[in-house]
Amino acid sequence: MSYIIGSKCIGTKDGACILACPVDCIHEGEESMYIDPETCIDCGACVPECPVDAIFDSEEDAIEAGELEAVKNNYKFFGLKYEE
Ligand code: SF4
């Protein structure tokens, strides 16, 4: 399981989440921030820092909210494939 940054980050990219992450697993892409699913320790520290509530606490929650593309993009950014 990993926290996931959803589509609300696109056009915002506030970056406070990056400062909050204790394991430096949030990286800045061209359109959005992305969470490395292999490094995230599921601590939740990034969630309250996001001004647009873009961060989901699991892939399942993100998919339920219609954010499957965001899940795939988070994995893809790190050269990984999300297995549905
Ligand atoms: Fe980093 Fe914790 Fe957020 Fe995962 S849940 S991205 S480890 S701050």
Helices (H), the chain: 16-20, 59-64, 68-77
- Predicted local confidence at residue 1, as pLDDT: 80
Q: What is the pTM of this model?
A: 0.95
| C-alpha to C-alpha distance for 60 and 73, rounded to whole angstroms | 15
Residue nearest to atom 4 of ligand 1 (CA): 40
**Residue nearest atom 3 of ligand 1, based on CA coordinates:** 46
> What pLDDT sits at residue 5?
98
Q: Tell me how far apart the alpha carbons of residues 24 and 50 are, in angstroms, rounded to a whole number.
A: 16
21 lines ligand 1 (CB under 6 A): yes
Q: Return d(Cα 64, Cα 51) in angstroms, integer.
A: 21
Q: Is residue 28 within a helix (H) or strand (E), and if so which, with residue range?
A: strand 26-28
Q: What is the pLDDT along the chain (84 residues), one digit of tens a residue?
A: 899 999 999 999 999 999 999 999 999 999 999 999 999 999 999 999 999 999 999 999 999 999 999 999 999 999 999 988
Question: Quick check: 77 and 37 in contact, CB under 8 A?
Answer: no
